[in-house]
Structure 1
Amino acid sequence: MKKERPKIIAVIPAYNEERHIGEVVRKTRLYVDQVFVIDDGSTDRTEEIARTAGATVIKHKENMGKGEAVNTAFNLAREIRPLIMVLLDGDNQHDPDEIPLLVNKLLDKKCDMVVGSRFMRQNEIPAYRMLGQHVLTLTTNLGSGIKLTDSQSGFRAFSLAAIDQMHFNESGLSVESEMQFIAGEKRLKVQEVPISTNYDDEVKRNPIVHGVGVLLRVISLSLQKNLVGGMLRGGGLN
């Protein structure tokens, strides 16, 4: 008998998340048909704990960056062909109990991609993070032509139509911005829902270095888009 494909899957990119990954997987399983963890070369017990919690784990042999983990997630989804894929982080920043907020938007069939926004409700977000996120969101909005309140949120859901369109060049942490550029280019309908967020843990990377790096990549994406668009309009590409 042919196995029925899952209608809703959740994919969790993770790197050295042994502290939280078990809880995140267990809570996520309550709302989806199948949970996958993309273990991006973790050197701790992330893989073991995720499997014990009930996730199917795909492990990169080495740490390749979030963009590559997300690419793996979308390649997996294109093989499975679910109705909906949910992406969320494995560090307990996102609340899996809010998965239905994103999924229900897609089930209404009024959009192709749903972004969970930390700025559509009152959240305790460090001031430096909020400032940096707003700068990145403004820059991404201007470049992509799609207006969001939280361009960098890792809590997202995608229809199968959106899954088929998402192919990334970014290997680092600017992959969320690239999603927005692709959505604009492919004319996908994007909506947001308010989500809560948790910043209790210490940050893994220097937020200033991270923010500047993402900003430079977003500017590069904007320049590439404008260059290609100008060449197409001017007949420079056949």
Structure 2
Amino acid sequence: MINLKITVGIPAFNEEKNIAPMIQKLNQIADTIIVCNDGSTDDTGKIASKMGAVVINHPRNLGYGGAIRSLFLKARELESDILVTMDSDGQHRISDVIPVANPIINKQVDLVIGSRFLDEAQDNIPKYRKAGIKMITKLANASLDNNVTDSQSGFRAYSKKILLEITPSEKGMGVSNEILMKSSKQGFKIAEVPIVVSYEGETSTQNPISHGVSVTLSTLKFISIDHPLKFYGIPGAIFLFLGVFFTIWTLQLFSETREIVTNLALIGVGCLVFGVMLTMSAIMLFSVVSVIREK
């Protein structure tokens, strides 16, 4: 059996209290540990370096997506066979690293998500967070070949193929869905395994509303690029239909009363204009994306 080089990547921002015990435990199971010190103002980077981790220092905070991108590039540079990413806030269990990586070790899939929703016994996820994650996951599933249960999990494993073929570009939390959609589009196999996450003390500092809005907008952007005819074309057709309907209604009333119902006329014209704009956007974006893909 060929030994695979397992690298664990940790995006970290001001996590000096958590980083040392994490690295100490990870040293027992990982070949390499990469810590992306994402503009921390504390000693996160210094501690990680002393503990033997490969440290990437961002001079300023670039966000979760920027940290994941740096981890991808460094893991690629180090010729890692598997990259496992996990959060630095103590929510993820070190004991779940190998189970998350196993489907790739066994050459079954290319990307593994550690899902918080496969273990029925785990019911400690805050309700507002669970609702938000499920909504965003449903949105992501619109562009995936196989549905997943937890598109926002940061506990993942990536094969060498993924590391070589995909370079994340999103700077925010939308990077999770970006990687999923790009992987699915390129035919990489995706699987999930159950993990347990601790929410004691509410360790997350991310505002749930800004998080949700950011991820939703990012996901919609990638869906619009991947499926422009559906994303713009279907709404465009609906608005065109409404425009024609209200225009005919307006003309019919005019023929009967010789008066123009201004409200109906404005709705009809507005729907027609908006429908034409959406339809043209669908056609132009589809043409541009097709040309880029051919090249």
TM-score normalised by structure 1 residue count: 0.92
User: Runs (4+) of structure 1 moved beyond 4 Å?
Assistant: 232-238
Query: Which structure has more helix as a fraction of its residues?
Result: 2
CA contact (8 A) 2:172 2:214 kept: no
The AA in structure 2 aligned to 1:93 is Q
1:117 aligned residue: 115
* Alignment of structure 1 residues 65-104 onto 2, 5 Å: 65-104=63-102
Deviation by residue 1:169-202 (Cα, 9 ceiling, x = unmatched): 2111111100111111110001110000011233
The AA in structure 2 aligned to 1:84 is I
Deviation by residue 1:149-172 (Cα, 9 ceiling, x = unmatched): 100000011111111122122111
- Residue 51 of structure 1 and its aligned partner are, at CA, apart by 2.1
* 2:160 maps to 1:160: yes
CA contact (8 A) 1:39 1:46 kept: yes
Deviation by residue 1:37-81 (Cα, 9 ceiling, x = unmatched): 000000011112222333121100100111111111111122111
The AA in structure 2 aligned to 1:215 is T
TM-score normalised by structure 2 residue count: 0.75
Aligned partner of residue 116 in structure 1, secondary structure: strand
Aligned partner of residue 8 in structure 2, secondary structure: strand
- The one of the two structures with greater contact order (alpha-carbon pairs below 8 A, sep at least 6) is 1
CA contact (8 A) 1:106 1:114 kept: yes
Distance in 1 between residues matched to 2:228 and 2:172, nearest whole Å: 22
The change in CA–CA distance for 1:104 and 1:173 in structure 2 (over 3 A counts) is same
CA contact (8 A) 2:110 2:188 kept: yes
Q: Give the number of the structure whose alpha-carbon radius of gyration is greater.
A: 2
- Residue 6 of structure 1 and its aligned partner are, at CA, apart by 7.3
Distance in 2 between residues matched to 1:234 and 1:160, nearest whole Å: 27
The change in CA–CA distance for 1:193 and 1:232 in structure 2 (over 3 A counts) is farther
* Alignment of structure 1 residues 189-200 onto 2, 5 Å: 189-200=189-200
Instruction: Structure 1: give runs of 5+ residues left out of the alignment.
Output: none
* 2:209 maps to 1:212: no
- Residue 144 of structure 1 and its aligned partner are, at CA, apart by 3.1
Question: What is the aligned length?
Answer: 234
Deviation by residue 1:18-54 (Cα, 9 ceiling, x = unmatched): 1211111112222111111000000011112222333
Deviation by residue 1:79-137 (Cα, 9 ceiling, x = unmatched): 11111111111111111111110121111101011110011113210000000000010
Instruction: Structure 2: give runs of 5+ residues left out of the alignment.
Output: 231-282
Aligned partner of residue 86 in structure 1, secondary structure: strand
Distance in 2 between residues matched to 1:71 and 1:169, nearest whole Å: 7
The change in CA–CA distance for 1:233 and 1:209 in structure 2 (over 3 A counts) is closer
CA contact (8 A) 2:75 2:163 kept: yes
* 2:32 maps to 1:31: no
Distance in 2 between residues matched to 1:228 and 1:15, nearest whole Å: 40
Identity %: 35
The change in CA–CA distance for 1:233 and 1:63 in structure 2 (over 3 A counts) is closer
More deviation in 142-151 or 189-198?
142-151
The AA in structure 1 aligned to 2:47 is I
CA contact (8 A) 1:66 1:173 kept: yes
